[in-house]
Amino acid sequence: MFNKILIANRGEIACRVAATCKRLGIASVAVYSDADADAKHVAACDEAVHIGGSTAAESYLRVARIIEAARATGAQAVHPGYGFLSENEDFAHACEAAGIVFIGPPVSAIAAMGSKAAAKALMHAAAVPLVPGYHGDDQDPQLLHREADAIGYPVLLKASAGGGGKGMRVVERSEDFAAALASCKREAASSFGNDRVLIEKYLTRPRHVEVQVFADRHGGAVYLFDRDCSVQRRHQKVLEEAPAPGLSAELKREMGEAAVAAARAVDYVGAGTVEFIMTGSGDFYFMEMNTRLQVEHPVTEMVTGQDLVEWQLRVAADEPLPLTQQQLKLDGHAIEARIYAEHPARGFLPSTGKLKHLRMPEGVEFAIDAAGAAGPGAAGRKAPVRIDSGVREGDTITPFYDPMIAKLIVHGATREEALARLSRALHACEVVGPHTNIEFLQRIVASEPFSTADLDTGLIERHHDALFAPHRKPFKEALALACAALLTREGGTAHGASPWDALSHWRLNGGYTQTLGWREIGHGDNERAFTVSFARDGGTQTLEHDGVREDFSWSSGAGEHALRATLGDVRVTGRVFIDGDTFHVFCLGEALAFEWQNLLAHAADAEGGEGRLTAPMPGKVIAVLVEPGAVVEKGAPLLVMEAMKMEHTIGAPAAGTVTEVLYAVGDQVADGAQLLVLDVQ
Q: What are φ and ψ of residue 230, in 5° steps?
A: -75, -30
Q: What are φ and ψ of residue 98, in 5° steps?
A: -90, 0
Kindly report whether the peptide bond that precedes residue 449 is cis, defined as omega within 30 degrees of 0.
no
Distance in angstroms (rounded) separating the CA atoms of residues 16 and 167: 30
Distance in angstroms (rounded) separating the CA atoms of residues 538 and 5: 64
Burial-class residue 37 by CB neighbours within 10 Å (0-12, 13-18, 19+): exposed
Q: Is 132 helix (H, G, I), strand (E, B) or coil?
A: coil
Distance in angstroms (rounded) separating the CA atoms of residues 468 and 462: 12
Nearest to 275 by CA among 335, 228, 209: 209
Nearest to 356 by CA among 394, 396, 392: 394
Cα 662 to the chain's mean position, in Å? Answer: 48
**DSSP run (H or E) holding 483:** helix 475-490
Distance in angstroms (rounded) separating the CA atoms of residues 138 and 91: 29
- Angle of the 415-427 helix axis to the 438-446 helix axis, nearest 10: 150
Give just the sign of the alpha carbon dihedral 187, 189, 192, 198: positive
Q: Is 205 a catalytic residue?
A: no
Strands (E), 172-278: 197-201, 207-215, 221-233, 236-242, 270-278
Looking at residue 345, the DSSP 8-state letter turns out to be G
Long-range contacts of 64-67 (CB under 8 A, 24+ apart): 64/94, 66/6, 66/8, 66/31, 66/91, 67/94, 67/95, 67/98, 67/100
Distance in angstroms (rounded) separating the CA atoms of residues 633 and 582: 12
Where are the alpha helices (H) located in 201-343, listed in sequence order?
249-265, 297-304, 308-316
Strand 221-233 and strand 207-215: pairing? Answer: antiparallel
In angstroms, the first-to-last Cα distance of the chain is 56
Are 239 and 335 in contact, with CB atoms under 8 Å apart?
A: yes
Q: Is 424 helix (H, G, I), strand (E, B) or coil?
A: helix
Q: Whats the size of the chain, residue-wise?
A: 681
Looking at residue 449, the DSSP 8-state letter turns out to be H
Adjacent-strand bridge partners of 278:
207, 284
Long-range contacts of 246-250 (CB under 8 A, 24+ apart): 246/453, 246/455, 247/209, 247/282, 248/282
Q: What are φ and ψ of residue 504, in 5° steps?
A: -75, 170
DSSP secondary structure letters along 30-54: EEEEGGGTT-HHHHHSSEEEEEE-S
User: Active-site residue among 16, 292, 381, 575?
Assistant: 292
DSSP secondary structure letters along 166-180: TTEEEE-SGGGHHHH
Q: Please list the active-site residues.
A: 292
